[in-house]
Every structure is written in structure tokens, then in C-alpha cells.
């Protein structure tokens, strides 16, 4: 898929309500978690995120997705030794869900997304966050406003499964370019599924998978040095997540 076509597809999907109607993001719109959902949060946070192999406490569900997002600020810092200050970059930031908690941890947070519609909404939702700024990125590059060697940590949450492989690689190369020396990039990949595909049906979520070998190849091609790979398993399927932490050399 050509870059402009890919960008237009996501713009149209967002205008049609991809995020605003998505069940994974209801908490982000002010819906309080139920007692049952809070119990799930506790089960999730009881896991040992310092290990390299983690089994989710329940089978996959929309509720589990929301729990992962609600508790992200805690388990992410337990899983990887993230910087505690400096400048953070959230690539594929959507409406600014992660930006909100990152602004409490970092001096400045930059959010980027391929959709101008989404970035407009993110600016509105995060207007009270004085240390957050937002830009629109292209399919295979980051905004020119982000200077080389300026970022302490780049975060890419559930983006690459929706992006053709060649664009994912270019985004990682761009991340390496803007990271400070020894700056860290953290991202996740879906694995044990669709590890030989490069796209999906138009106007739908894609599920482009990566093996661990493919993940390592991405890092090598992007001139990034592996820090740690963590596998998230689910009890009902072989499909899993690879969480990757790497450094700029």
C-alpha cells in the first residue's frame, strides 16, 4: 500500500469513529472501571513483570485490554527500567491516553499520530497538560519538529501490527535518529500469527505478526541495540506479544 493511501485509510477510519467507538478505550472517555474490572487490575499487577515470560491471568477480552491500558504506567516501569525524567515520545499516541500519565513522569512529552483527526482530539483532551505537545507524522517518518538526539525514551504501543513492515522499519530508524545516546525505545509486536503477511483488508485493523527473529532483525536494521525482550502469553492461544526494549548506540 502506498504511503498516502495508507495515511488516508487511517484518517477515514478515525473520522468514522475507530477510537471513539472502540471498546478498548471506554475508560479514556470517563467510564469508571467496575469492581470486577478493578479485581482484574489487581490480578494483572500481581504478575512478576521483571521476568522474561509472563502469562496473562485470564483469556483475552476487551476487559483485559482495558485493564492493560489502565495499569500501563505501573507494569511498564516494572518491566523495563525506563528513564524517570527527560523527554518522552509517544509514537501512535491516539487521543493521548499514554501521554496523560507520561506527563507526570517526564519533563516534556511529545505525541505523534498518522491521523490529523486524532491529533486534533488529543490536543483538546490534553489541553490542561502544559508539558505535552502533539504533531502529525507520516506513514514512515516522524515530524521534522522532533530534533535528532533529543528524546530520552520513545514508546510505541500496539502500532506495528497495523503498519506495513517497511513503514515499521522506517519508524524505528526515525526513532533511533531522534533518541539521545543511550536513549531507549520500547514497543510491542504481536507474534505467532501472520508472520508472513504485510497488510490486511482495507479499512480494518490488521494483525501483522513478528517472530522473535524478525524482531531482532528490525533492531539490527534500525541500528538499535537490544536490551530485553519479554513475552506475554495468553492461556487460551499460542498468539502472544513480544515486548521489546532497545537502546540507541
Mean pLDDT of 161-169: 97
Mean pLDDT of 31-53: 95
Rounded mean pLDDT of 157-167? 97
Q: Tell me: the pLDDT tens digits for 124-134? A: 999 999 999 99
Helices and strands counted in the chain (H then E): 8, 8
CATH of the domain at 181: 3.40.50.150
Give the sign of the dihedral formed by CA 163, CA 120, CA 85, CA 138.
Answer: positive
Whether 232 contacts 240, CB under 8 Å: yes
Checking if the pLDDT of 32 tops 90, the result is: no
The total domain count for the chain is 1
Cα–Cα nearest to 64, from 72, 56, 73, 74? 56
Residue 173 has pLDDT above 80, yes or no: yes
pLDDT of 236 > 70? The answer is yes
CA distance 101 to 98: 6
pLDDT of residue 29: 66
- DSSP states of 206-227 as a string? ---B--HHHHHHHHHHTTEEEE
pLDDT mean over 221-245? 96
pLDDT at residue 26 is higher than 90: no
If you write DSSP's letter for every residue of 89-156 in order, what string do you get? EEET-TTTHHHHHHHHHSSEEEEEES-HHHHHHHHHHTTT-TTEEEEE-BTTB--TTS-TT-EEEEEE
Is the pLDDT at 25 greater than 90, yes or no? no
Average confidence (pLDDT) over 173-197? 97
pLDDT mean across residues, the chain: 95
Q: Give the integer Cα–Cα distance in Å for 142 and 69.
A: 24
Beta bridge partner(s), residue 109? 88, 132
CA triplet 235, 240, 242: central angle to 5 degrees?
A: 140
| pLDDT tens digit sequence for 129-151 | 999 999 999 999 999 999 999 99
Distance CA 174, CA 183 (A): 13
- Structure-block grid coordinates of residue 88: 518522552
Mean pLDDT of 192-200: 96
| pLDDT tens by residue, 85-118 | 999 999 999 999 999 999 999 999 999 999 999 9
Mean pLDDT, residues 173-181 taken together: 97
Residue of higher predicted confidence among 167 and 29: 167
Q: Is the per-residue pLDDT at 219 higher than 70?
A: yes
Query: Domain range spanning residue 44?
Result: 3-26+34-248
Q: What's residue 19's pLDDT?
A: 87
Please report, rounded to a whole number, the percentage of residues in the chain having pLDDT higher than 90: 92
Amino acid at each position: 500500500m502506498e504511503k498516502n493511501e495508507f495515511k488516508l485509510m487511517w484518517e477515514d477510519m478515525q473520522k468514522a469513529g475507530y477510537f471513539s467507538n472502540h471498546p478498548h478505550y471506554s475508560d479514556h472517555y470517563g467510564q469508571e472501571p467496575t469492581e470486577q474490572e478493578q479485581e482484574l487490575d489487581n490480578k494483572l499487577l500481581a504478575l512478576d513483570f521483571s521476568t522474561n515470560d509472563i502469562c496473562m491471568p485470564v483469556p483475552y477480552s476487551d476487559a483485559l485490554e482495558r485493564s492493560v491500558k489502565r495499569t500501563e504506567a505501573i507494569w511498564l516501569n516494572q518491566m523495563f527500567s525506563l528513564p524517570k525524567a527527560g523527554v518522552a515520545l509517544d509514537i501512535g499516541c491516539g487521543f493521548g491516553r499514554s501521554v496523560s500519565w507520561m506527563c507526570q513522569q517526564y519533563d516534556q512529552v511529545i505525541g505523534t499520530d498518522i491521523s490529523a483527526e486524532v491529533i486534533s482530539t488529543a490536543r483538546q483532551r490534553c489541553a490542561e497538560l502544559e508539558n505535552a505537545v502533539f504533531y502529525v507524522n507520516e506513514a514512515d517518518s516522524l515530524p521534522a519538529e522532533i530534533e535528532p538526539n533529543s528524546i530520552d525514551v520513545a514508546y510505541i504501543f500496539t502500532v506495528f501490527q497495523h503498519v506495513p513492515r517497511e513503514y515499521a522499519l522506517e519508524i524505528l530508524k526515525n526513532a533511533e535518529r531522534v533518541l539521545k545516546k543511550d536513549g531507549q525505545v520500547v514497543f510491542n509486536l504481536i507474534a505467532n500469527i501472520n508472520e508472513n503477511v504485510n497488510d490486511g483488508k482495507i479499512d480494518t485493523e490488521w494483525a501483522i505478526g513478528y517472530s522473535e527473529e524478525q524482531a531482532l532483525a528490525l533492531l539490527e536494521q534500525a541500528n538499535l541495540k537490544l536490551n530485553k525482550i519479554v513475552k506475554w502469553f495468553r492461556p487460551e492461544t499460542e498468539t502472544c506479544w513480544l515486548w521489546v526494549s532497545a537502546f540507541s548506540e
